[in-house]
Amino acid sequence: MTLSIPDFSKTNVVVAGDVMLDQYLFGATSRISPEAPVPVVHVQQTDDRPGGAANVAVNLASLGVKTRLIGAVGDDAAASTLESLLQAQGIDCSFACVNDRPTITKTRVQSRGQQLIRLDQENAAELRDKALVDAVGEAAVGAGAVILSDYGKGALTDVRGMIELCREAGVPVLVDPKGRDFEKYRGATLLTPNQGEFEAVAGHCVGDEELATRGWQMVEELDLTALLVTRSEKGMMLLETGNEPLFLSTQAREVYDVTGAGDTVIATLAGALASGQSLASAAALANIAAGLVVRKIGVATVTPGEIQVALHQRGQGGRGLVSRDELLVFMGEARARNERIVMTNGCFDILHAGHVAYLEEAKSLGDRLIVAVNDDDSVRRLKGESRPINALEDRMLVLAGLAAVDWVVPFSDDTPAALIAAVLPDVLVKGGDYQPDQIAGGKEVLENGGEVRVLSFRDGHSTSRIIDKLSG
């Protein structure tokens, strides 16, 4: 299966479920309390983080997905803190305020790398608030996908009603289930239990064949489109109606912390599906994202750039059209492999044989070639209002198709000096009759120990000549 990173920024996903505030208190311990045989923690640092369904929303926002979060909070300071944290990440919060129950808060006291105690503030009674169901139904209209994140804390009491409204809106609804009553999720597009949660409902499975057999039974009995079972070090199993079972091996190279990995999986799945990816491709991307997030300490997220780097390491996602930030991630990985980085730039309005020869020669100077491309506005400033002939995206796509080119990145300034200074390639290449000290970014590259090379263009080839010929 060939994978690619979708443009998550063009998608919107709704998350509904049990929102929480995770509070961390960090401090030193040096004595036992005289009042009781417990350590005394001198709190030196506090950290507030969105948890539960709110962490799913944060994972979506990290991918660049437009995200709306629906849940219930109390009339308290924790609700204000949680909403502020989420809004800072561009998440649209639609919270029902319930006066007789607190915002779910989990406070962890940690010292010397150990969690000493966890204090939970919650009222997990069923929350029969029609406003939550109506909010999901309203938000589902026009959404790319809906995630129902169930932690068993009451917000999804009427989860079946939410699923029905999503189905009426024609929107895929993905459920992260809780407990042993999966009947309430009937009609969902996809369930994402881990293997322990699945076997608690379906029974213990010996081997992949039995796992798939019991999984198909669940798909049929619950009128699902698909089932994704996450299997820790064994990867994932995807069962999709009409297709053969898909077993995905884990992509984790090191595992430091599995906390929140399920949130990353369902967020990536939903974002990819909403972007038009097939379920199989979305699951494969989610599997890669999970392998990345478990390498991080604590509840964490991944970015499209990190996923793209992982794809590149697998020989997929290849020569990508990348942003500046994504390119810098690639550079860190390439340098860790001791690869020699070559960089050049230009408008590349109409690609011709001269360009191809030039880029092939540039690539021969190192292991990886970056081509920085003027955006449309900067081309107009440099070449006049009649240029460019081809829009930025088209120019970048053509360049990315060349065997010599590894990464194509746009820039909006008149020169790529700032971008070059950020990348600091081993070799900076420019075509023409420039002197090295006249080339934008050349000074910074030389000062960093790199080199600047001037290559000749092939005679008889130019964009201007092509335009003149077409004009008659």
> Which pTM value belongs to this model?
0.71
Residue 210: its pLDDT value, please? 95
Return phi, psi of residue 132, to 5°. -65, -45
The angle formed by the CA atoms of residues 307, 308 and 309, to the nearest 5 degrees, is: 90
Q: Are strands 226-230 and 12-17 parallel, antiparallel or unpaired?
A: unpaired
| Residue-by-residue DSSP string for 348-403 | -SS--HHHHHHHHHHHTTSSEEEEEEE-HHHHHHHH-TT--SS-HHHHHHHHHTST
Question: Taking the domain 321-471, which CATH number applies?
Answer: 3.40.50.620
Q: In 74-138, at which residue ranges do the beta strands (DSSP E only) sit?
A: 92-97, 105-111, 114-121
Over residues 64-119, the pLDDT tens digits come to 999 999 999 999 999 999 999 999 999 999 999 998 899 999 999 989 888 899 99
- Residues 275 and 282: their CA atoms lie apart, in Å, by 9
Residue 411: its pLDDT value, please? 93
Residue 257: its pLDDT value, please? 42
Phi-psi region of 41 (alpha: psi -120 to 50; beta: other; left: phi over 0): beta
- Residues 320 and 316: their CA atoms lie apart, in Å, by 10
Q: What is the DSSP code (8-state) at residue 417?
A: H
Q: Which residue has the tokens 């994704």?
A: 228
Q: What is the DSSP code (8-state) at residue 426?
A: S
Q: Distance from CA of residue 119 to its chain's centroid? A: 31
- Residues 140 and 133: their CA atoms lie apart, in Å, by 11
- Residues 386 and 31: their CA atoms lie apart, in Å, by 76
For residue 137 the two structure tokens come to 């139904």
Work out the number of other CB atoms within 10 angstroms of the CB of residue 404: 18
Over residues 12-69, the pLDDT tens digits come to 999 999 999 999 999 999 899 999 999 999 999 999 999 999 999 999 999 999 999 9
Q: Which of 150, 158, 263, 406 is catalytic?
A: 263
Q: Considering the chain, what is the average pLDDT of its residues?
A: 88
Burial class (CB in 10 A: 0-12, 13-18, 19+), 42: exposed
Question: Taking the domain 8-318, which CATH number applies?
Answer: 3.40.1190.20
Q: 462: pLDDT confidence band, cut at 50, 70 and 90?
A: low
Over residues 354-370, the pLDDT tens digits come to 889 899 999 999 999 99
The domain spans of the chain are 8-318, 321-471
| Residue-by-residue DSSP string for 248-277 | E----S--S--TTHHHHHHHHHHHHHHTT-
Identify the helix (H) or strand (E) that includes residue 446: helix 442-447
The angle formed by the CA atoms of residues 154, 263 and 303, to the nearest 5 degrees, is: 145
Exposure string for 212-231, b = 16+ CB within 10 A, e = fewer = bebbeebbeebebbbbbbbb
* β-bridge partners, 16: 70, 148
Q: What is the DSSP code (8-state) at residue 104?
A: P
Residue type at position 153: K
Over residues 245-268, the pLDDT tens digits come to 999 887 655 554 446 688 999 999
For residue 98 the two structure tokens come to 């319930």
Residues with Cβ within 8 Å of residue 38, at least 6 apart in sequence = 32
- Residues 60 and 198: their CA atoms lie apart, in Å, by 24
Residue 2: its pLDDT value, please? 67
Which strands form 145-149's sheet, in the order they lie side by side?
A: 92-97, 66-73, 12-17, 145-149, 173-176, 190-191, 226-230, 236-240, 246-248
Q: 349: pLDDT confidence band, cut at 50, 70 and 90?
A: confident
Instruction: Say if residues 19 and 72 touch (Cβ distance below 8 Å).
Output: yes
The answer to whether residue 263 is catalytic is yes
Q: Are strands 114-121 and 236-240 parallel, antiparallel or unpaired?
A: unpaired
Return the axis-axis angle of helices 261-274 and 279-293, rounded to nearest 10°.
Answer: 150
Q: 165-169, 196-200, 436-440: lowest mean pLDDT where?
A: 436-440
Work out the number of other CB atoms within 10 angstroms of the CB of residue 298: 12
Identify the helix (H) or strand (E) that includes residue 410: strand 407-411
Nearest to 163, CA basis, from 151, 177, 153, 152: 177
